[in-house]
Amino acid sequence: MTRQLRDRLSAVGMGSAALFCVALAASIAVALVLRSRPMLAESSVTRLLTSSSWRPLAGEFGFFPFIVGTLCVSGLAMALGIPVCLLSSLYLTEYAHSHLRSVARPVLDLLAAIPPVVFGLWGVLALVPLVQKLGARFGSATTGYSVLAGGIVLAIMVFPIIIAVMQEVLLKVPLEAREASLALGATRWQTTKHVVVRAAYPGIIAAIVLGFSRALGETMAVLMVVGNVPTVPRSVFDPAYPLPALIANNYGEMMSIPRYDSALMFAALILMALVLIFNIGAIVALRGIERKLA
Amino acid sequence: MKSVRARVFLVLVTAVVAFGIAMSLRVPPSGATTRGARSALRGTIRVSGAWALYPMMVVWAEEFRKANPGVQVDVSAGGAGKGATDALGGMVEIGMVSRDIHPEEAKKGGFWIPVVKDAVLPAASAANPVAKELATRGVARKTFSALWVEGKPLTWGDVVGKPKVKEAVRVYTRSDACGAADTWAKYLGKRQEDLKGVAVYGDPGLAQAVQRDKFGIGYNNLNYAYDARTGKPVAGLVMIPIDINGDGKISKSESFYRTRAEMKKAIASGAYPSPPARDLNLLTKGKPTGLTREFLLWILRDGQRYVDRAGYIELPKPKLDAAKKKLG
């Protein structure tokens, strides 16, 4: 075998592996569209997306509460998670002693390796009663199974991913930049805020995008604490019903209710579209930021 | 050169997309994985579905395996709906379905036999402020209906006729497609999707939620409502007696909630209404053959020996005979 041939072959091999991954995503999308066609043939996409009436036996499939539920729970998780993640990764890279860093890293990795069901169970046992008490203090007769409980569980689940990526990004900022800033008389906090975070900005956004995409799709842990009621939540103490939970809970009725499988495939399609829209939005925003910084 | 690469790219993409579509449209293979002759039974039987039947099926699987060492029975729980979907989709040989078989499932080639009986029971927390009144007065069907179907915001005072108690009733239901919810809904003249309330995953999950919430109300399968060891209601739960005749009190003929044995007798005699008492079914795709059929026949004959000990109620003999006949 000549060197050139080997080179060609390895290029083809790697290329097809990469292609396979890309095409897989495309084929899932195509399959979802095909399977949700019976649903789309009967009612318009706008009706499906904006109607709040969910009564599969009567043939009414309104996905609005589920879309709102997904965005609420994931949004709340990010609102709770981003500050904690950013501050802790800044602390670990800029302030902490390397000993602490070497201890914190495996602990965070461990957190990432805990199965979602365990988080869900913890949520049911510890978090739901806590939210119930908190709700009572705010004058809400909540059961504790709520957007807030789901958001907190989800926030904790995305911590390790976001922190890991943020740490990598912050460590990439050259040491010389910090030294220059400190030499000019800036304090450590000023250096962190104006030099390190600024330089790492695009990477930080990428970490958040990654976390949010994960949050959108997380199923089991959220399902166990979120209450699963198909109405639009009015406060964080109300239950919600995210799209992944809808699919997981009702997969069982697919066979017994007409067009239900088609409806669930459509739910999956919506979820995929949400992730896609969010990612494209993030890429566009990132380009803008990079251009501004350059 | 470039066009060659483009063509390779195109072929690959088409292949993968076609593969993906084929996989998602593929009809799963049906029938049992029976390998081997009838005399010396060998092979694997996969069972999934209702939480209500799960403890029973585990016992049956164990005993059947003891009698037939060459057979393995894999049992998993995930709700009646999952059992039906898995069985009709060919993922398992037998689906456990703890409710009536829906016409749509029959149309898809579902074949089923009833194997045991149990019931769904309304439950509240033991810490409920009106637990005593609940036990003496009971709750009538129309109140259950107001809570679960109409979603009326009632207080516990409204439920037991004690206006001083102002705490709102917090209604719980099941999130997973399941027989308990469907049977409870049927008792109220509806289907699972019509039940209001915060939805919790799984039978143990629902029991736990109501245990913890002193203003909560829920429902559970017999075997998750009573402790198997003590025969008393599970710690932290009280059963809500159903005021069957609606006279505002629990008379002697309506009082059978103290122990599991008492409750079982009431279900067997029909004193506890049906629904929420119900037959538990095993569903296969098409009329079963081979190993699956043998297992089902065994359940109807020898398997009935373990029913009582496992905490279920045996079917009346004519029903068992009819099931055997249906199996052929």
Residue B321: the pLDDT is 87
Judge whether residue A73 has pLDDT over 60: yes
Q: Average pLDDT in the B60-87 region?
A: 87
A56 → closest Cβ in B175, B193, B209: B193
| pLDDT class of B39 with cuts at 50, 70, 90 | very low
Q: What is the pLDDT of residue A19?
A: 94
> How confident is residue A23, by pLDDT bands cut at 50, 70 and 90?
very high
The pLDDT of residue A71: 92
Residue of chain A minimizing CA distance to B210 = A143
Best mutation target, B4, B14, B24, B86, to test chain A (most A CBs within 10 A): B24
Choose among B168, B178, B67, B183: nearest CA to B122.
B183
Task: Compare all CA atoms of chain A with the CA of B18 and give the residue at the minimum distance.
Answer: A27
Which of B23, B198, B208 lies nearest to residue A229, judging by beta carbons? B198
Note whether A140 contacts B: Cβ–Cβ < 8 A: no
Amino acid at B326: K
Residue of B nearest to A58 (CA): B193
Instruction: Give me the CATH code for the B2-118+279-327 domain, please.
Output: 3.40.190.10
Q: Which of B85, B178, B213 sits opposite A254 (nearest CB)?
A: B85
- pLDDT surpasses 80 at B32: no
Residues sharing a CB contact under 8 Å with residue A5, sequence separation 6 or more, in sequence order: none
Whether the predicted pLDDT of B8 surpasses 70 = no
Nearest to B81 among A239, A245, A256 (CB): A256
Burial (CB < 10 A; 0-12, 13-18, 19+), residue B127, is middle
A239 touches chain B (CB under 8 A): yes
CB-CB neighbors (< 8 A) of B50 in chain A: none
CA distance A236 to A150: 10
Given a contact cutoff of 8 angstroms between Cβ atoms, the answer to whether B80 and B50 are in contact is yes
Residue A20 pLDDT greater than 90, yes or no: yes
Q: Which residues contact B6 (CB under 8 A, 6 or more apart)?
A: none
Q: What single-letter DSSP state applies at residue A53?
A: -
Distance CA B117, CA B98 (A): 9
DSSP 8-state secondary structure symbol assigned to residue A145: -
One-letter amino acid at B209 equals A
Nearest to A251 among B13, B82, B212 (CB): B82
- Tell me what the pLDDT averaged over chain A comes to: 88
Smallest Cβ–Cβ distance between B168 and the set A141, A227, A249 belongs to A141
Domain extents in chain A: 65-293
pLDDT for A60 equals 82
Residue A112 corresponds to which tokens in the numbers above?
A: 């990432």
CA atoms of B110 and B116, how far apart (whole Å)? 18
Judged by CB atoms within 8 Å, which residues 4-23 of B form the interface with A?
8-9, 12-13, 16-17, 19-21, 23
pLDDT 10s digits, A28-50 = 999 999 988 888 888 888 888 88
Please judge whether B191 and A227 are an interchain contact, meaning their C-beta atoms are less than 8 angstroms apart.
no
CATH architecture of the region B120-269: 3-Layer(aba) Sandwich (3.40)
Residues 6+ apart with CB under 8 A from B185: B148, B191, B192, B194, B195
Name the residue facing B104 among A24, A54, A258 (closest C-beta): A258
Interface test with B, best of A24, A61, A253, A265 (most B CBs within 10 A): A253
What does the pLDDT look like over B117-156, one tens digit per residue?
A: 889 999 999 999 888 888 888 898 889 999 999 888 888 9
Distance CA B194, CA A277 (A): 33
- Which positions in chain B touch A16 (Cβ < 8 Å)? 8, 12
Mean pLDDT of chain B: 83
pLDDT digits (tens, 9 = 90+) for B179-203: 888 899 999 988 888 888 888 888 8
Q: Please indicate whether, in this complex, the C-beta atoms of B16 and A20 are within 8 angstroms of each other.
A: yes
Nearest residue to B194 (alpha-carbon basis) of B157, B145, B231, B227: B145
Residue A168 has which token pair? Answer: 């990598």
Chain B contact present for A255, CB below 8 A: yes
Distance CA A287, CA A209 (A): 14
Cβ of A27 within 8 Å of Cβ of B16? The answer is yes
With bands split at pLDDT 50, 70 and 90, how would you rate the model's confidence at B99?
confident
For a pLDDT cut of 70, what percent of chain A falls above it?
97
pLDDT in tens, A127-166: 988 998 898 888 777 888 899 999 999 999 998 889 999 9
Interface contact B209-A223, CB threshold 8 A: no
Per the document, the length of chain B is: 328
DSSP code of B234? P
Is the pLDDT confidence value at A1 over 70? no
- Encode pLDDT of B228-282 as tens digits: 788 888 888 999 999 888 888 888 888 888 888 888 888 888 888 888 888 899 9
DSSP symbol at B155: B
Tokens of A236: 């964080």
Q: Indicate the pTM of the whole model.
A: 0.77
Q: How many CB pairs under 8 A join A and B?
A: 129
| In chain B, residues 278-297 whose CB comes closer than 8 Å to chain A | none
Q: Is the ipTM of this complex over 0.90?
A: no
3 state SS of B288: coil
Q: Residue B193: its chain A contacts at CB < 8 A? A: 54-57
Check B177 against A23: CB less than 8 A apart.
Answer: no
Interface test with A, best of B11, B14, B104, B175 (most A CBs within 10 A): B175
Q: What would the pLDDT profile of B167-183 be if each residue is shown by its tens digit?
A: 889 999 998 878 888 89
Q: Which fold has domain A65-293?
A: MetI-like fold (1.10.3720)
* CA distances (Å), origin A99, targets A89, A159, A171, B12, B151: 15, 21, 16, 49, 57
**How many Å lie between the alpha carbon of A164 and the closest alpha carbon of chain B?**
32
Query: Which amino acid is residue B314, in one-letter code?
Result: E
Cβ atoms < 10 Å from Cβ of A9: 11
> Is residue A124 a contact partner of residue A224, using CB atoms and an 8 Å limit?
yes
- H/E stretch holding A256: none
